[in-house]
Structure 1
Amino acid sequence: MPRPAPPDDPTAAFLAQRLPLQPQAIARHVLPDGRPVWLKRAGPRHGMAGYRVLGAAARLLGLAVLTPVPNRGGRAAIATEVRRLRTLAAHGVPVPEVLAAAPDGFLMADLGGAQGEATPSLADEMQAAVPAGGATVLTLWQQGLDTLSQVHARGQCLSQAFARNLVRRPDGGVACIDFEDDPAAVLPLEVCQLRDALCYVHSTALYLREAEALPEARRAWGAWLAQPRYAGEFTAQFERMLRRTRWLRHLPADRRWGRDAQRLRAAWELLSGSAP
């Protein structure tokens, strides 16, 4: 459960006042002292049937990394996100600061700082950079990989490490957002960290292909995977995943089966080192 705030905490008073009035799941506000903040409120609880189906598929394939991590929604999701944000911050991972929390919602600092500067996601930056060419996209992509390395070096994992959840801070660094689920509660840490990498690659490989940067990205991925921290179970799980998903190489590289198929095919090409 979220920790209660001190009785005289103005951010807790602000949360208590605004939370019942906010219809949206998340909205931006400005505190009386001028600081921009975000208020996130509990949504409806989520059903579990879909997670059970996905879990059965993961067991059938023998791939723990595909095990779904439940997001139960409602108060449970709020409690999970507050706890995860505080834990990650305590380990030096750049995440939004939790300013106040209650069972039905919480208040967090705007990553744009006091001026509320723009904080585009790496996904937005990479997509916009495709016309500029492979070198620019590859530089952005490497920053995401480096962020994962920093998180993992602290013995932590993210929740959904898609490029849309890695955002640019005003100081040029990258921060992490969206923690309504906790992979480490249901999976070993090495599997959670591999899950981070697969989420990131799945969400970015198509940008690399469109910028004609896949060959360079394969070399960067190989160097990232060769880090000592990824020896052992991480690499064993990764190699098992590659063996059991070889069928992805048969997906069309064009859009005839849709964008999702393109993303899967591009991710396979990057991770396996296979040229199209």
Structure 2
Amino acid sequence: MTTMDAGQAPETTPGNSSIIDYAAYLRQQLALQQFNVASYRLGDEQVWLKKAGAPHGMGRYRAMAALAALLRLEVLRPVPNRGGNEAIATEVRRLRDLQARGLRVPTVLAAQEDGFLMRHLGRPAQQTPSLGNEIDHAVSAGPAAVLALWQQGLAAIAQVHAAGTCLSQAFARNLVRCPDGVVGYIDFEDDPAGVLPLPVCHARDALCYAHSTAIYLRLVGALDDARALWAAWVAAGSPELQAVMASSVGRMGWMRHLPQSRKLGRDMQRVRAAYDLLGP
């Protein structure tokens, strides 16, 4: 995992990790931890402790639901993350399920209703960079470097879909490159498949990834090459995914009229670049 937005907790070194009582450590440290997410050294390994935050209000989800209905875009239907203990339970369940399917996610070492302990995806004391950051940093190296990383993300999402599941928010920031080059997955506080049909969840993954990466493709002049790769990726998916993608992109046609000017802000640029990647 990356350092997320959490503070770095003091290191502790109780000995060889093979004899650590993770459940006892979780109980002890939860009472002391200041931040919602913090990292620790336990013997020869690095772990992350995530504790429950405050419950989330539902007002913004109702607004998003109204917008999705107005635009007739099922992929925009909100997936509630209620926060608190419910988010902890959801993330623990999803991490265990994804790992059982052979996907690279942090191992849950211990869990209780208000927090859980998981193993770092990288080497101790070494950050595991997000794919989003790596793509951003690769812009200076040119289109080939950006496209190579971008395709690795597409392949990682396809692997999740082939395993019969979906991600939570498939933005490039939630895909991480492990030291062995394998892409791992983080951040599972919500469960789209609990409220949406799986093909819609798969399309939602694809659109999240496009939204978070297309702007870098534009910056290096690689949108045309990426568009062909994207079309091939969608064509390799299930017929249900293809149908949802075609319907969704068709209803996003108004995005072609968005200006590309930086004066309207980075978020608007991301939306327009994503449409230019997805559109006909």
- Corresponding residue of 1:180: 189
218-227 or 53-62, which moves further after superposition? 53-62
- Corresponding residue of 1:272: 279
57-66 or 101-110, which moves further after superposition? 57-66
TM-score with structure 2 length normalisation?
0.91
Equivalents in 1 of 2:31, 2:219: separation in Å?
A: 45
2:100 is the counterpart of 1:93 = no
Q: Give the 3-state SS of the residue equivalent to 1:21 in structure 2.
A: coil
- Corresponding residue of 2:90: 80
2:115 is the counterpart of 1:105 = yes
Q: Give the 3-state SS of the residue equivalent to 1:54 in structure 2.
A: helix
2:238 is the counterpart of 1:230 = yes
Give the drift of 1:49. 1.4
> Structure 1, residues 134-174: CA drift from partner, whole Å, max 9, x if none?
00000000000000110000001000000000001010110
In 2, are the aligned partners of 1:111 and 1:119 still within 8 Å (CA)? Answer: yes
In 2, are the aligned partners of 1:118 and 1:170 still within 8 Å (CA)? Answer: no
> Structure 1, residues 210-238: CA drift from partner, whole Å, max 9, x if none?
011111100110110111x321x222221
Equivalents in 1 of 2:203, 2:48: separation in Å?
A: 30
2:267 is the counterpart of 1:260 = yes
* Root mean square deviation, CA, Å: 1.1
In 2, are the aligned partners of 1:110 and 1:116 still within 8 Å (CA)? Answer: no
Q: Give the 3-state SS of the residue equivalent to 2:81 in structure 1.
A: coil
> Structure 1, residues 83-112: CA drift from partner, whole Å, max 9, x if none?
000000000111000000011100000011
- Corresponding residue of 1:19: 30
244-253 or 99-108, which moves further after superposition? 244-253
Equivalents in 2 of 1:17, 1:57: separation in Å?
A: 44
Q: Give the 3-state SS of the residue equivalent to 2:151 in structure 1.
A: helix
Give the drift of 1:60. 2.1
Give the drift of 1:57. 1.6
Q: Given residue 230 of structure 1, which amino acid in structure 2 is its aligned partner?
A: S
Corresponding residue to 1:28 among 13, 20, 39: 39
Q: What is the count of residue pairs matched by the alignment?
A: 262
Equivalents in 1 of 2:20, 2:134: separation in Å?
A: 37
Corresponding residue to 2:248 among 241, 251, 255: 241
- Corresponding residue of 1:55: 65
Equivalents in 1 of 2:63, 2:173: separation in Å?
A: 26
Corresponding residue to 1:250 among 238, 257, 260: 257
Q: Give the 3-state SS of the residue equivalent to 1:13 in structure 2.
A: helix
Structure 1 gaps of 5+ residues are 1-7
In 1, are the aligned partners of 2:234 and 2:241 still within 8 Å (CA)? Answer: no
Q: Give the 3-state SS of the residue equivalent to 2:110 in structure 1.
A: strand
2:156 is the counterpart of 1:133 = no
In 2, are the aligned partners of 1:111 and 1:169 still within 8 Å (CA)? Answer: yes
Give the drift of 1:118. 2.4
In 2, are the aligned partners of 1:190 and 1:234 still within 8 Å (CA)? Answer: yes
Give the drift of 1:9. 6.6
**Percent identical across equivalent pairs?**
58
Q: Give the 3-state SS of the residue equivalent to 2:31 in structure 1.
A: helix
